Copies of this chain bind each other. A is one copy, B any other.
Amino acid sequence: MRNYTTQMDAAKQGIITPEMKIVAKKEYRTEEEIRELVAKGQVAICANKLHTCIDPEGVGSMLRTKINVNLGVSRDCKDYDVEMKKVQAAIDMGAEAIMDLSSHGNTQPFRRKLTSECKAMIGTVPVYDSVIHYQRDLATLSAKDFIDVVRLHAQDGVDFVTLHCGITRKTIEQIKKHKRKMNIVSRGGSLVFAWMSMTGEENPFYEYFDEILDICCEYDVTISLGDACRPGCLADASDVCQIEELVRLGELTKRAWAKDVQVMVEGPGHVPLDQIEANMKIQQTICMGAPFYVLGPLVTDIAPGYDHITSAIGGAIAASAGAAFLCYVTPAEHLALPNVDDVKQGIIASRIAAHAADIAKKIPHARDIDDQMADARRTFDWEKQWEFSIDPETAKAIRDSRAPEHDDTCSMCGKFCAVRSMNKALAGEYIDIL
């Protein structure tokens, strides 16, 4: 039997767990390096003891950047079969985590299906599920009700839970006083805020944090400290509401680590490009290097329909400056629940951002595939080009749809192709262009 509670407990005891071994191998690190990083809280291995089919991943700024895909049914899109297809597609496309944000119907079977069938890390936001689980409106729920749902999710095998522990009754006054343009845009954060407003009580996730830690310790659930006050527009970025909450998340990180509970810290949001690096650095000092999990950041507010691109820009910069984990954003963000194609577009944009950051961070072997692609391009080896492509099907379809006259070119340049000209010139051959 295992003689430790959480991965962090094991690491602190000097034990190298099977999960650490797998992570070490994937990341080209020694097992001892991974153990040390887990002990310090700088790497989280989100792996609920009951999620036995998991293929463990480490989340940390010095490791390969991981990506999360949000899925789950809502009242407006309630087909669980469609959602399960998206899950499989997401994992096939390389997502390391799936967050089940379902907010309609009977949520438990889907959640259990995820933790019994998926090798990806599974995350949830228990506060969403509270209303659904009890089928009672928000104001009628008690603090204990919320904590019981956290326990339920832990028992269902969830690897990490987003909990908005960082806002308190003081936040209510601050949000009112500070007059943010977008107030709170975190769904879970707004529910906690709404509950506090209506009941007059303190945030249960803050007040009963120790009980939550006991649950998380028992099952090895990683707490993803939600940022209720993440900016919802550029104008609100890096303001006092956001930074004060971050300070509280730093305090809570310490309390969690003291009980051997693994932590990730969630971050913004909508952030001007020139503030992203500062946000990453501040988080790393305030939260002592705990893995930073960012949503976006979106570098402009004016591109609905293209927010996978605005967040790929922000995500690449964030990850290269220290973020460890990117939550995907789809073209449907701000507009609708993503469909299957939106999910695909969102994942690919996130993977591009993560990969670009990994190269910039000099993650071991990250650039190997780029170098192989360059070789394939120079030699006009189209089959190999597809093989090294992030989405072979799409790349091949574009070329095939406009097939060129000459096979050693593409229709973009034809015989003006620079690669063709250079190959001939360097071989001392005559270069025909017409």
Out of B360, B378, B385, name the residue touching A304 (CB < 8 Å). B385
User: A404-432 vs B: 1/0 string, CB under 8 Å?
Assistant: 11000011111111110111111010111
- Cα distance A385–B77 in the bound complex, in angstroms: 23
- Cα distance A401–B331 in the bound complex, in angstroms: 13
Chain B residues within 8 Å of A169, by CB: none
A235 and B103 contacting across the interface, CB-CB below 8 Å = no
Interface residues of A in 269-322 (CB under 8 A from B): 272-274, 299-306, 308-310, 312-313, 316-317, 320
User: Would you give the shortest CB distance from A424 to chain B, in whole angstroms?
Assistant: 7
User: Would you give the shortest CB distance from A299 to chain B, in whole angstroms?
Assistant: 4
- Cα distance A394–B334 in the bound complex, in angstroms: 13
A398 at the interface (CB under 8 A from B): yes
A183 and B320 contacting across the interface, CB-CB below 8 Å = no
Please report the total number of A residues contacting B with Cβ < 8 Å. Answer: 118
User: Would you give the shortest CB distance from A411 to chain B, in whole angstroms?
Assistant: 4
Quick one: which of A348, A402, A418 has the most chain B CB within 10 A?
A418
A377 at the interface (CB under 8 A from B): yes
Interface residues of A in 356-399 (CB under 8 A from B): 356-357, 359-361, 367, 369-371, 373-375, 377-378, 385, 388-391, 394-395, 397-399
Out of B186, B301, B348, name the residue touching A374 (CB < 8 Å). B301
A371 and B234 contacting across the interface, CB-CB below 8 Å = yes
Out of B74, B235, B331, B356, name the residue touching A411 (CB < 8 Å). B74
A243 at the interface (CB under 8 A from B): no
Out of B183, B360, B378, B426, name the residue touching A273 (CB < 8 Å). B360
Quick one: which of A185, A187, A335, A391 has the most chain B CB within 10 A?
A335
Binding site for B on A (CB under 8 A): 74-77, 103-104, 128, 131, 135-139, 175-176, 181-187, 189-191, 193-194, 197-198, 232-236, 272-274, 299-306, 308-310, 312-313, 316-317, 320, 331-339, 342, 348-349, 352-353, 355-357, 359-361, 367, 369-371, 373-375, 377-378, 385, 388-391, 394-395, 397-399, 401-402, 404-405, 410-419, 421-426, 428, 430-434
**What are the 7 tightest A-B residue pairs by CB atom distance, in nearest-first order?**
A233-B374, A190-B418, A76-B411, A274-B360, A299-B356, A273-B360, A305-B394
